[in-house]
Amino acid sequence: MSEFTFLMYVRKSSEAEDRQALSIEAQLRELEALVERRSLKIKGPPIIEAFSARRPGRPLFTKMVEDLEQGHANGIVCWHLNRLARNPLDGGRIMMALADRTIEAIHTPERVYDGSGDDQLLMSLNFGIATKFSHDLSRDVKRGIREALEKGRWPTKPKLGYVRDSETGILVPDPQRFDAVRQLFCWRLNGVPVREILVRAREELKLRHPKMGRYEGKSLSISGLYRLLDDPFYMGLMRFNGETYDGTHVPAVTPTQFHEIQAGLRSSPPPPRAKRLFFTYRGLIRCGSCGAMVTAQHTTNRHGTRYTYYSCGRKVKRYRYCKETSVQEKTIEEAIVGKLRMFQIQPKFADKILEFVERQRGLRTKEEVQRKAELSRTLERIDRRLEGFRAMYADGLIGRDEFALDREKLLHEKAELAEQTKSNSSDVLKPLADAVSLGQKAVFEFEAGDASRRRRIVEAAFSNLVVKDKTLLISAKKSLDVLAKIQQCSSWRAVLSEVQTLINN
């Protein structure tokens, strides 16, 4: 039996450099058999580390070397020298300790290193090979990541709303979460506060991150929601290590919508604290006196009758007090129904408007083909400029910062043009057709619908709701405002004039 005491060290990280290494359990089995075969005396339990050895600073390795330097043990038992070091600093420290006899011996299944001249040479070779392997692997991984990004593929864990296709390896919409993620952007575009979106994501959409192994997926957090809404990945661009790349994945939102959301996030005041109770119109109405969001609460009188009141969020003590008085939900709904009735035009005019829209779509088809052909030529010019910048960067004619800045500008321009190629100039007619359909049935569906249906109708019909002096002031969306004007028309000529004004604007 050896007169020395040894520390058993095993290591396996999750990085690529350790993919081919034995598992922790396999290393322990090998070393326990080695200890028994060579009759070695082990001090304490095995030291099990799960950090990469590519850089110095492993806490358990550092503590082990300090224990050896203080004489608490005399040597190390490990599966291979590359378990101890993959960088010159740690490798040199082990070799110096062995040369100074701070470490008497290192036992591995293949041999015993005792600090002799041959051992020093073999250790230098082993540590050098391990370091070079680590450096080469790091370079190869970085090159692989860069090539994936250049091809428009996201190289790391899929973003929320996407999954990786098992055959092609590219990201595709997650059938369970993609539509929910798009809904988050839609709510924000409609002015819903971020904290209100978070409550809806958890309670209505039941949105959670996907399960990872045996761990359940976490719910979306407020900081995670802000990062999601601010991530250009969802409009088709991939930001990685300070550079921007054009992605081939299906975007969840258009560049125009994404930039509109960013402007709203940067200009909006801190949102009110989210509450779990559901109120039909909370998050849709602002105070006409101070501009704060209107909140809601239930009250019950002494006869047991329950009422819902909407009041300025600054009426509570922790905010600057607002004198705007509360308004009943019943009063709000009466105002909404009154406004919706203004969109009910004569059936004969409604039918003619829908026929006119269909004719206009046919006339615009030829213009649309020419427009998209010109956009395609512009996109080809941008692609040639991008290739030119890549060649100049590869030849050293421009620096990394200049290349990254110019490429990001061109990619944003390309994304906006690509969005225009997907759009159709006849799409400007769709809001009008939708408005006519909505206007004909909105009152009935609002009065007969539940709270969720009423809220959706309000979101579809109105762009701004303000409470002032117990009165709800309503701004309708542009196409519905035209219906209110058409309701006053007595002839088709007058109706057509209003419709053409909307289309041309």
Reading the block at residue 348, the tokens are 């004969």
Task: Identify the bridge partners of residue 350 per DSSP, sorted by sequence position.
Answer: none
CATH of 162-267, one of 3.90.1750.20, 3.90.1150.10, 3.30.830.10, 3.30.360.10: 3.90.1750.20
Q: Where in the chain is the domain with CATH 3.40.50.1390?
A: 5-148
Q: Which pLDDT score is estimated for 334?
A: 92
Name the residue with higher pLDDT: 436 or 101: 101
pLDDT of 423 > 50? The answer is yes
| Alpha-carbon span 468 to 154, nearest angstrom | 49
Phi-psi region of 429 (alpha: psi -120 to 50; beta: other; left: phi over 0): alpha
Q: Which pLDDT score is estimated for 267?
A: 58
Name the residue with higher pLDDT: 157 or 344: 157
Q: Where in the chain is the domain with CATH 3.90.1750.20?
A: 162-267
Tens of pLDDT along 163-182? 988 888 788 999 999 999 99
End-to-end CA distance of the chain: 94
Side chain identity at 382, as an amino acid letter?
Answer: I
Q: What is the CATH number of domain 5-148?
A: 3.40.50.1390
| Alpha-carbon span 312 to 322, nearest angstrom | 7
Q: Which pLDDT score is estimated for 427?
A: 59
Element (H, E) at 92: helix 88-99
Measure Cα distances from 225 to 76, 208, 262, 397 in Å: 48, 11, 13, 41
Tens of pLDDT along 306-321? 889 998 877 654 445 6
- Tell me which of 8-17, 27-36, 180-189, 338-347 is least confident: 8-17
Tens of pLDDT along 54-68? 788 889 999 999 999
Residue entry with tokens 């002494």: 302
